[in-house]
Structure 1
Amino acid sequence: MQLVYVLDAYCGWSYGFARTMATVADRHPGLPVEAVSGGLFTGARRVPIREFGYVRGANARISELTGVEFGPAYERLIADGSFVMDSDDAARALAALRSAAPARAVELAADLQQAFYRDGLSLSDPDTYRKVAADAGLDAGAVVRYFESPAAAADAAADFRRAARLGVEGFPTLLAVDGRRATVLAVGHATAAEVDRRLAAL
C-alpha cells in the first residue's frame, strides 16, 4: 500500500493541509508517499486572481482551521488582483523538485506552497525554484533546467491524468492505494489523528 497525495501548489486548502501531510508521512515511514499535482488553475481558469472573489474568505477559514499564515507579500498579490495562477507551471515545478529528491516530495511540495502563500513568489518564475531548491540543499541549476525541459511538461500532464484516473475532484485529496483499490483518507481538510484512524481501519 502507498499514500497518494494529490495537491495543487496554488490551492489554499492544499497549503493548509501541508502540516497534516507532513505529520502523517512522519508517523508512517513505511508507507511510500507519491505527491501528485492536480491541475486546479489550467485552461480557462488561468485568469487574474481578482476573478476568484472567494479567495479572502476561504483564506480566513483555512487559517482558522489549520493555523497557517498568509504572508504580507502574498496579501499584496491579492490586493493588486492581476496575478495569474498557472497550475501547469506549478506542476512542472513539483516535477522538477521531485526529480532531484523523490523521497522528499511531501516536504518540497510544502516548500512550493510557502514560496507562494508566505513569500508571494510566482510559481511560473524559474528564479522561485532556484531559491526553493537552494534552500532545500538541492542542485538549483539542475532543478531549473528540469523545470524548463519537455520532461517536466510531460510529468505535469501525467500527474493531471493520474489525478483524474483516481477520481480526484478536489484538492488536497489523500488516498491510500493498494493495487487497484483507492481509499479516500482526506479531502480538503483533516487532522493527522483523523487520517491515522482511517488508515488503521483499512
Structure 2
Amino acid sequence: MKLIYVFDAYCGWSYGFAPTLTELVRRHPDLDVEVVSGGLFTGRRRVPVREFGYVQGANAKISESTGVGFGAGYERLIADGSFVMDSEAAARGVAALRQTAPDRTVELTTALQHAFYVDGMSLSDPATYRAVAEAAGLAPDTVVGAFTSPGSAAAAKDDFARAAQLGVQSYPTLLAVQGARTAVLAVGHAGVDETEQRMDALTATR
C-alpha cells in the first residue's frame, strides 16, 4: 500500500492533520508516502489575509478539533491583515525539501508548517527554508538553492496538476493506493486510529 497526501502548506486544516500523519508514519515506518502540494492560495485567492474574514474563527475551530496551537509569531505576522499567503511559493519550498531529503518529506513539511503557524515565518522567504534546513540537519545552501531554482517552480506546477488529476478538491486529503485501486482515507480531519482502521479495512478487502 502507498499513501498520497495532498495538502497545502498554507492550509490550517493541513496543519491540524500533521500530527495524525506523523503518528501514522511513526507506526508504519516502511510506508511509502507521496506528498503533493495543492494550490489553495493562487491566482485570485493570493490576496492579503484581511480579505479572508474567517481566519481567526477557522483557526479556533482547527485548534478545538485537532489540538494544534497557533503561535505568537504567527499571530503577529497576520495581525495587520497585510500578509499574503502564496501557495505557489510554499509548493516550491515543499519541492525543495522533498528533493533534498525525499525520505523525510512528511517530517520536513510538518516542520515547514510549524515555521509558519507557530513561528510566523513566511513560506515565501528563503530564510525560512534556511532555518528549517538547519534545524533538520540538512545543508541550508542546498535547500535554499533548490527553493530559488527554476526547477522548484516547475515542480510546484506539476504538484498542482497532480492534485487535480487525483480529483482532490479539499485539503488535506489522504489517499491510499493499492494496486489499481485508490481510496480516500481522510479529508479535512481524522484521528490516527480511525485512519489506521480504514487502512486495515482496505488491506482486508484486497
Q: So what's the TM-score if we normalise by structure 1? A: 0.98
The residue number in structure 1 matching 2:85 is 85
The residue number in structure 2 matching 1:44 is 44
1:88-167 to 2 correspondence within 5 Å? 88-167=88-167
The residue number in structure 2 matching 1:62 is 62
How many angstroms does 1:65 deviate by? Answer: 1.2
Distance 1:146 1:157 in 2: 15
Task: Give CA deviations for 1:131-163 in whole Å, capped at 9, x if unaligned.
Answer: 001110001000001101111111111111111
Distance 1:37 1:177 in 2: 18
Q: CA RMSD in A?
A: 0.9
Distance 1:93 1:188 in 2: 22
The residue number in structure 2 matching 1:168 is 168
Distance 2:182 2:167 in 1: 9
Q: Is the 8 A contact 1:49 1:82 kept in 2?
A: yes
Whether 2:74 is the aligned partner of 1:74: answer yes
1:189-200 to 2 correspondence within 5 Å? 189-200=189-200
1:57 maps to a residue whose letter is G
1:42 maps to a residue whose letter is T
Q: Is the 8 A contact 1:166 1:182 kept in 2?
A: no
The residue number in structure 2 matching 1:12 is 12
Distance 2:49 2:179 in 1: 39
Matched position secondary structure for 1:17: helix
Distance 1:78 1:179 in 2: 44
1:29 maps to a residue whose letter is P
How many angstroms does 1:182 deviate by? Answer: 1.4
Structure 1: which 4+ aligned runs deviate by more than 6 Å? Answer: none
1:115 maps to a residue whose letter is A
Distance 1:30 1:189 in 2: 23
2:98 maps to a residue whose letter is R
Task: Give CA deviations for 1:67-98 in whole Å, capped at 9, x if unaligned.
Answer: 11101111122221000000000000000001
Consecutive unaligned residues in structure 2, runs of 5 or more: none
Consecutive unaligned residues in structure 1, runs of 5 or more: none
1:138 maps to a residue whose letter is L
2:40 maps to a residue whose letter is L
Percent sequence identity is 66
2:55 maps to a residue whose letter is V
Q: Is the 8 A contact 1:74 1:119 kept in 2?
A: yes
The residue number in structure 1 matching 2:187 is 187
How many angstroms does 1:30 deviate by? Answer: 2.6
Distance 2:82 2:50 in 1: 7
How many pairs does the alignment contain? Answer: 202
